[in-house]
Structure 1
Amino acid sequence: MKKNIIFIISMLLILSMVLSMAYVALFGKKENAVVAPSNKNVPQHLRINIGLEPLTLHPGLVEDSVSQTVVTQLFEGLTRKDLGGQTVNAAASVVKIADDQKTYTFTIRDAKWSNGDPVVAKDFEYAWKWLLDPANKSPNAYQLYYIEGAKAFNEGKESVKKVGVRAIDDKTLEVKLVEPTSNFLELTASYAYFPINSKLAKKNPDWANEAGNQYTTNGSFNLKEWSHNNKIVLEKNKNYWDSNMVKLEEISMYMVSDPNEELSLYESDYLNLISSPAEEMKIDDEMVYTQAIAGTYSVNLNTKVEPFTNKNIRKALAFAINRQALVDNSEEKETSPAMAAVHPAFFPANKKGYFKDNDVTKAKQYLQKGLVELGLTDVSELPVIKLSTSTNETDERISQSIKEMWTKNLGVKVTLESTDSSIYYEKVQNRDYNVALVESLGSFWDPVNVLESYRNSKSGTGSENEQLQSFLKQSKIESNSNERAEVLKKAEAALIEEMPFIPIYFFSIETFQSQKVRDVAVPYPGQVQLKWAYLES
C-alpha cells in the first residue's frame, strides 16, 4: 500500500504538563524566510489522529497536551513563535517596555474574531482575570503570577482590581509585573495568555463546550465540528489577520486510541498524520525527520496529608524505587532514570542527578528518622498509602511496580486507585489524592516551567518552599543566561531537598515527518502549530 503522507508524533498528543522543550520547525524555513506557497493542485485537507478526546477547549483550563494541540490552532496570544523559532508580535502590533522593565504596553493590531467581532484589549484583560479567578480553578493560574496582584487575587487575598492588567482602550493593553521578567514576551505566546471573546463569554459561561457560533477564535483556524470522542474538524479562519499565510483549508482530527486501527487507517491512505506508530510499521529514512521531545514521569506527594508531611518519609519513598528496573520494563522509547526535577535536555548534569537510584539502605534510614519524628515506633503504624493513577495501561503497570517496591523495601502498606483520565488531572490539581502518578510536558521552553509548579502551598503538592521561591524570584531578574541557569540549578536543589514529588524517569519522544507535509512547527511539547503547514504532491 502506498504511504503517501506520514507525520508521526509518538505519544506527543496524549501526554500531560510540567517540563518543556525547545522550538523545532520541522522542515521549515530559517528566520525571516518567506514561506513557500502550497501546491494548488493538492487538496489542502490534513487528516490526523490525536488519539484521545481533549479534556477541554477552553484556553484557561487546558492541562493536557491533546487540548493544548487543538487550542493552539484556534487562538493566538499577543506574541507567538514564528517558523524560525523567534518570538514575534502576533495579536499585538507594537510592544513598549518601560525603563523599569516592569510595565508593558501592548498595541492590539486590527484583527477580528472568527464571527467578525473586533479583537480588543478587553478580551485579554477578561481572559487573564478569568484564569486567575479562584472560582474557575484554572490549573494554569500560576503562569500569570508574574503579573502584579495576580498571585494574591488567585489565592483569594486581594480583589481583582489589584491585578496589574488594564485595557486602557480598545487598542491598548497595559500590564504591570511584580518584577522585571526577561522572558515575559515568550510567556505571552503560551496558551495561558490567550484571549477570549469577552463579549460572548460574559453572556454564555459554557461557550467552550461545543462547536458553533458561540465558540469564536482569533487564531489561524475556526472550530467547525466537535463530535465528542470521535472527531474534531477545524477550518481556515477567514477573519484571521494573517490568513494569507494559512495554506490548509481544513484539518480533521480523529480520536483513534487503538494503534492497530490507526495503522490500518494510515495504510489505507485515510490518515495523513498519526500519533503512535505500531512497531511493525517500517519508516523509510528518506521520508522522515526525527526530533526528540523531553518529558518527565513522576509521583506527586500530598504534603498536607500524613505521613507525607514529613520530609524523611518522602525521601524514604523516593530512594526505595528502582528506576532502572522501571525503565528496562518500559514500553516507551528513550527513557532514563530520573534523580532530578529538570530534564537533562536543559541541565546535562541531571543524567546523574542528586541521589543514587534504588538506594534501599538510605531509604530505610530516612524511614526510621521519619518514624521517630512522627512519634511512631514501627512502620506498621503508618497509614495505608493510596497510590492514585489514571486508567492508562502504562500508569497502572508502573503503579503496580512501585507498590511492590515500597512494600518489599520499606514494609509499608499500599493500595492502588485508578481514575478515568477525563477527571484524573482535575483531582490531582485539587490535591484530592495521597500520592499520584503524573506525566508532564510543559507550555514554554524554560526549566522554570517545572520548578514554578512546586513553588508554594497552592501547588499540586501543597508544599511551601521559601528557599525555592527565593531562587525563582532571583532568576526572573537575572539577564545573564549562564548566571540564570546557575540560579535555577540552586532552585532545583532546594526542591529536591524537600522532595514534594518523586522523579521516576525522563522520556524523549520521537517525531517523524514526511517530506510531503511541509512547515509544521513544534514550539512547545504537545503544541503542534499548523499555521504554515501545507501538503505537497
Structure 2
Amino acid sequence: MKKWLWLVMTVLFALALSACTANEDAGSEESSDDNNSESSEEKVLYMNNGTEPTSMNPPIGFDSNSWNVLNNVMEGLTRLGKDDQPQPAAAEDWTVSDDGTVYTFTIREDAKWSNGDDVTAGDFEYAWKNLLDPEVASPAAFLGYFIKGGEAYNNGEGSRDDVMVEAVNDKELKVTLSSPTNYFLHLTTNPAFFPVNESVATENAEWFAEADTFVGNGPFTVASWKHDSEMIMEKNDQYWDKETVNLDKINWAMVNETNTEYQMYESGELDVSEIPAEMTEQLLDSEEVVIEDQAGTYFYRFNVNEEPFQNEKIRKAFAMAVNQQEIVDYITKKGEEAAFGFVSPGFTGPSDKDFREVNGKLVETNPEEAKKLLEEGMKEEGYDELPKITLSYNTSESHKAIAESMQEMYKDALGVEITLENAEWNVFLQDQKNLKHQLSRSSFLADYADPINFLESFTTNSTMNRTGWSNEEYDKLIEQAKAEKEEEQRFEYMYEAEKLLFAEMPIFPIHFYNQVYLHKPGVKDIVRHPVGYLDLKWADKE
C-alpha cells in the first residue's frame, strides 16, 4: 500500500523516460571544470534531465523531461505544496459557485513575468484557449475538456469564443466547467495550464525555443541553453515568492545513460542521480538514497490494428505470459510494486479504501492459460504460425533490460521468438502516435490527482490512446464518471471502466512507479510530487 493518500474531501490523489545521446560537455559550465569552482556565495544544484525537453511551450511539452524544467520556470494559478496539495500561486485567491461549476480566480498584484511584465488574467485566457486550439494540436488538450466549450472547440465543432475562460479584467479570471470537478484545483497545477505572455508570444511565435527569448513566471528563469547538452536556470528576481527560493542556479545536464549519470555523481559533477539497475542491491540501503512514491504505471501497448494483435485472445496470451514480479525483483530492482491493473495505488475512494485494493488484480501471470489462449487465437485467425512480432522501446538501458526479459518470457511461455527494436525518444513517440508499432513500451505519470486521469487515456479519441482500441461502452463510462456528482457512483463507473479495459486488453502493465534517487549530503527539500512534477522552489544545498 502506498503511503501517500491524498486527503482531499471527495477525491484524492507520474513518459516517459526518454532518450538522447550524451554530449561531452553535458553537466559542466564553460567557465568551470567542476562544482567546486563556483563562487562560494552561490548555491548551484547540478542535476540531469536525461534529455532535451520535448518543448518549453506549455501545451506541447507534455512529458516528464519537459515538466522538470517547466514546473520550475513557470507556474499556474495553483501550485502543489510540499504536502502535494494545491496552494495559491499566480492566483492569490479564488471563489467557487454554489453548484461547483464556476471558478473565479484573483491574480496576485505582484505576479510578474521574468521580463518584468505583469502576469494577467488575459495571459491565462490566451494560453488555455491555445491549449484547446485544434491547430496547436496539443497532446494535453484533453485536460481542457473540463472547461465548458473546450472539447467542442478542440474537436472543430465549436469556436474559440465558446470556450468559457474569460479575463474579466487584468486580475480576474472566470472559468466555467462543464460539470462540478472537485479536483479542478489539482488540475490547474499541471504545466499544460501555465500562462503564456500574450504580448511576447504574439511578437515571436518561437518565444519558448531559446534562452534569450524565453519568458517565464516561476521561481527560476532560463539563463542559458545549449540544446541537447545543457540548460542553466537562475533564480528569478521577478518571482513573487523569491524569498522562499534558496538556490541561485540549477545546472541541468542531458545524459540518458544511467551508468554515465552515476559516474558523474560519483565524480562530483552531479548532486543527484538515479541508481543503475545492476547496483541497486549495493546502493539501495545507502544513506544517500531517497525513495518517494509516484502516481504512475510502466506498461505496454498493443496496436489492435496490426496483426496478430487484432485478436483479443492473442493480446491476452502475450499479457499473461509476462511475469511482472520477476521483472521488479530481478530486472528493475528498485522496490517497485508489480502492476496487475492500470490505476496505481494511492487514490482513496468514498469507501475509504484504495482504488487498487477495491478493483483488485485484473491480469495475472499464467503461462499455461497464455499458451491455451494463443492457440485459440491463432485458430480464430487461421494462423499456422504467427506473423513476425517486433517489440519497440525508446533508447534506455532500463527499457532494454525489461524488453530483453520479456523476449525470454515469450520464448519460454509461448514458444514465440520476437524481435526487439529501439529508437530515440522523439522518433519513437511519433511512431507510437502514428500507430506504427505492434507492441511498444509506455509509461503513464498522473497529470492530476484522480483515477479518471489514468482511465481517460483510452477513450476513442484520446491522444494518449495510441492503441487503435475503441469501445463505446468504455467511452460512455468515462463520460458518466466525469459528469457524476456523487462520489460513490463516480468511483463505480471508474471501477467498471478499468475492468472493461482489461477484459479487452489493449494494454498490459509491468509495474507501478516509485522515485529512487541518490542525493549528495547537504542536498535537501527537492520535492517530487506523486503526479510527476519535480519542484525545486524549496530545494537547498548546504
TM-score (norm 2): 0.82
> Do residues 444 (structure 1) and 448 (structure 2) align?
yes
Aligned in 2, Cα 1:357/1:224: closer, same or farther, shift over 3 Å? same
For structure 2, the residue ranges without an aligned partner over 5 or more in a row are: 1-13, 19-38, 348-354
Equivalences for 1:445-460 in 2 at 5 Å? Answer: 445-458=449-462, 459-460=465-466
Once residues 283 and 344 of structure 1 are traced to their aligned partners in structure 2, the CA distance between those partners, rounded to angstroms, is 22
> Do residues 464 (structure 1) and 465 (structure 2) align?
no
Once residues 413 and 404 of structure 1 are traced to their aligned partners in structure 2, the CA distance between those partners, rounded to angstroms, is 8
- The one-character-per-residue Cα deviations of 1:457-496 (angstroms, maximum 9, x if unpaired) are 3332233333333333444455666665444322211221
Once residues 137 and 416 of structure 1 are traced to their aligned partners in structure 2, the CA distance between those partners, rounded to angstroms, is 31
User: Equivalent residue for 2:365?
Assistant: 357
Equivalences for 1:168-183 in 2 at 5 Å? Answer: 168-183=168-183
- The one-character-per-residue Cα deviations of 1:157-204 (angstroms, maximum 9, x if unpaired) are 333333222223322222221211110111001111111112122232
Contact 1:49/1:253 (8 A) holds in 2: yes
Contact 1:323/1:358 (8 A) holds in 2: no
Contact 1:77/1:195 (8 A) holds in 2: yes
Aligned in 2, Cα 1:180/1:509: closer, same or farther, shift over 3 Å? same
Displacement, 1:113? 0.9
User: Equivalent residue for 1:434?
Assistant: 438
Q: Counterpart amino acid of 2:455?
A: L
Once residues 246 and 514 of structure 1 are traced to their aligned partners in structure 2, the CA distance between those partners, rounded to angstroms, is 19
Aligned in 2, Cα 1:321/1:47: closer, same or farther, shift over 3 Å? closer
Aligned in 2, Cα 1:136/1:386: closer, same or farther, shift over 3 Å? farther
Identity over aligned residues, as a percent? 38
User: Equivalent residue for 1:232?
Assistant: 231
Contact 1:318/1:363 (8 A) holds in 2: no
Once residues 391 and 287 of structure 2 are traced to their aligned partners in structure 1, the CA distance between those partners, rounded to angstroms, is 45
Once residues 219 and 306 of structure 1 are traced to their aligned partners in structure 2, the CA distance between those partners, rounded to angstroms, is 47
Equivalences for 1:58-73 in 2 at 5 Å? Answer: 58-73=57-72
- The one-character-per-residue Cα deviations of 1:500-533 (angstroms, maximum 9, x if unpaired) are 2122333433245566333322224442211122
Aligned in 2, Cα 1:476/1:513: closer, same or farther, shift over 3 Å? farther
Displacement, 1:340? 1.2
- The one-character-per-residue Cα deviations of 1:382-429 (angstroms, maximum 9, x if unpaired) are 644343221223333433444454466556674443221133223323
- The one-character-per-residue Cα deviations of 1:107-142 (angstroms, maximum 9, x if unpaired) are 222222111222122222222222222333322122
User: Equivalent residue for 1:377?
Assistant: 382
What is the number of residues matched between the two proteins? 497
> Do residues 423 (structure 1) and 427 (structure 2) align?
yes
For structure 1, the residue ranges without an aligned partner over 5 or more in a row are: 1-11, 17-39
Contact 2:321/2:414 (8 A) holds in 1: yes
> Do residues 210 (structure 1) and 214 (structure 2) align?
no
Once residues 40 and 397 of structure 2 are traced to their aligned partners in structure 1, the CA distance between those partners, rounded to angstroms, is 43
Once residues 267 and 387 of structure 2 are traced to their aligned partners in structure 1, the CA distance between those partners, rounded to angstroms, is 54
Aligned in 2, Cα 1:260/1:314: closer, same or farther, shift over 3 Å? closer
TM-score (norm 1): 0.82
Once residues 392 and 287 of structure 1 are traced to their aligned partners in structure 2, the CA distance between those partners, rounded to angstroms, is 24
Contact 1:13/1:51 (8 A) holds in 2: no
Once residues 336 and 49 of structure 2 are traced to their aligned partners in structure 1, the CA distance between those partners, rounded to angstroms, is 22
- The one-character-per-residue Cα deviations of 1:6-39 (angstroms, maximum 9, x if unpaired) are xxxxxx99737xxxxxxxxxxxxxxxxxxxxxxx
Contact 1:339/1:350 (8 A) holds in 2: no
Displacement, 1:242? 1.6
The farther-off stretch of 463-472 and 166-175 is 463-472
Once residues 393 and 15 of structure 2 are traced to their aligned partners in structure 1, the CA distance between those partners, rounded to angstroms, is 19
User: Equivalent residue for 1:134?
Assistant: 134
Aligned in 2, Cα 1:509/1:290: closer, same or farther, shift over 3 Å? closer
3-state SS in 2 of match to 1:145: helix
Aligned in 2, Cα 1:350/1:62: closer, same or farther, shift over 3 Å? farther
Once residues 237 and 136 of structure 1 are traced to their aligned partners in structure 2, the CA distance between those partners, rounded to angstroms, is 29
Q: Counterpart amino acid of 1:238?
A: D
Of 504, 510, 517, the match for 2:516: 510
Once residues 409 and 494 of structure 1 are traced to their aligned partners in structure 2, the CA distance between those partners, rounded to angstroms, is 26
Q: Counterpart amino acid of 1:530?
A: L
User: Equivalent residue for 1:302?
Assistant: 303
Larger relative contact order, structure 1 or 2 (CA cutoff 8 Å, min sep 6): 1
Once residues 309 and 119 of structure 1 are traced to their aligned partners in structure 2, the CA distance between those partners, rounded to angstroms, is 50
Q: Counterpart amino acid of 1:438?
A: S
User: Equivalent residue for 2:494?
Assistant: 488
Displacement, 1:248? 1.5
Contact 2:295/2:530 (8 A) holds in 1: no
Contact 1:294/1:507 (8 A) holds in 2: yes
Once residues 279 and 404 of structure 1 are traced to their aligned partners in structure 2, the CA distance between those partners, rounded to angstroms, is 22
Once residues 420 and 266 of structure 1 are traced to their aligned partners in structure 2, the CA distance between those partners, rounded to angstroms, is 24
Q: Counterpart amino acid of 1:343?
A: S
User: Equivalent residue for 1:393?
Assistant: 397
